Structure 1
Amino acid sequence: ILILGAGKQALWHPRLVVALRCSEIKSLTVINRSAARAQSLVKQVEEENQKYWRSSASFAALDLASSEYDQNLQTLLSVVDTVFCTVVSTASLFSLSAILSGKTRNRLPFVSAVGSWQADMVEMDPEMLQHATRRADSYKPHGDSRGAIIVDDRDECLVKSGEVIQSGLKADQVIEVGEILKRQQGHSGAQLSERQAQLKPWLSEGFIVYKGIGVSLTDLAAGNAILALAKERNVGVPISNL
Structure 2
Amino acid sequence: MSLTVLSDDDIRNILESLTSSETEALADRMRGALREYSTGTQNIDVGSIHQPERTVVHSDATNATTLFMPSINEDGHAVKVVTLSGGNTAPDQPALRPTGSVTVFSPQGAPTGFLHAKTLTAFRTALASSCLLTKRQHVKTLTVFGSGLQAYWHVRLALLLRGEKVKQVYVINRQFSDSARDILAKFYAVDPETRRREGWADTRFSVLTPSYGEYERLTKEYVRAADVIYCCTPSHEPLFDPTILTNTNGRRKGRLIVAIGSYKPEMREIPREVLEQAIKVVVDTLDGAMKEAGEIIEADIQPNQMVELGELVMIRKAAEEEDSIVSMASPVSTLSSTADISSDLDKLDIKSGSSAMSSIYGRNSTEAGSFSNLEGASGTGPQSPKRSSSFTSLFSKQQHRRSSSQGSSKQRKQSQSQSQNEPDHLARWLTSGNVIYKSVGLGLMDLVVGNEIIRLAKEKGVGHHIENFS
TM-score, reference length from structure 1: 0.83
How far off is 1:214 after superposition? 1.2
Q: CA deviation at 1:241?
A: 3.5
Q: Which residue of 2 aligns with 1:215?
A: 442
Alignment of 1:58-77 (within 5 A): 58-77=204-223
Residue 177 of structure 1 pairs with residue 404 of structure 2? no
Aligned mates of 2:220, 2:466 — CA distance in 1? 52
Cα offset for 1:225?
A: 4.6
1:3 aligns with 2:149: no
**Partner Cα separation in structure 2 for residue 89 and residue 49 of structure 1:** 33
**1:52 alignment partner in structure 2:** 194
Q: Distance in 1 between matches of 2:183 and 2:450?
A: 25
**Aligned AA for 1:33?**
R
Structure 1 CA distance for aligned equivalents of residues 316 and 454 of structure 2: 24
Q: Identity over the aligned pairs, expressed in percent?
A: 28
The answer for the alignment partner of 1:204 in structure 2 is 431
Q: Give the aligned CA root-mean-square deviation in angstroms.
A: 2.5
Match of 2:281 among 146, 149, 162: 149
Counterpart residue number, 1:160 = 292
- 2:42 paired residue number: none
Partner of 1:186: 318
Q: Distance in 2 between matches of 1:86 and 1:211?
A: 11
- Aligned pair count reads 226
Higher strand share: 2
Q: Deviations over 1:85-124 (max 9, x none)?
A: 1100110001321124573985232111101111010011
- Provide the rounded CA distance (Å) in 1 between the counterparts of 2:251 and 2:268: 26
- Structure 1 stretches of 5 or more lacking a match? 134-147
Determine which structure has the larger helix proportion and give its number: 1
Given residue 41 of structure 1, which amino acid in structure 2 is its aligned partner? Answer: I
| Higher mean C-alpha deviation, range 28-37 or range 122-131 | 28-37
Q: Which amino acid aligns with 1:71?
A: R
1:141 is aligned to none
Alignment partner, residue 129 of structure 1:
275
**SS in structure 2 at match of 1:118:** coil
Task: Find the counterpart in structure 2 of residue 16 from structure 1.
Answer: 157
In structure 1, what residue type is equivalent to 2:259? A
Correspondent of 2:185 among 30, 43, 51: 43
Corresponding residue to 1:28 among 156, 165, 169:
169
The aligned counterpart of 2:460 is 235
**Once structures 1 and 2 are overlaid, which stretch shifts more, 59-68 or 156-165?**
59-68
CA-CA distance at 1:17 after TM superposition: 1.1
SS of residue matched to 2:212: coil
Higher RCO, 1 vs 2 (CA within 8 Å, ≥6 residues apart):
2
Partner in structure 2 of residue 103 of structure 1: 249
For structure 2, list consecutive stretches of 5 or more residues without a partner in the other structure.
1-141, 327-400, 403-417
Shift of 1:226: 4.5
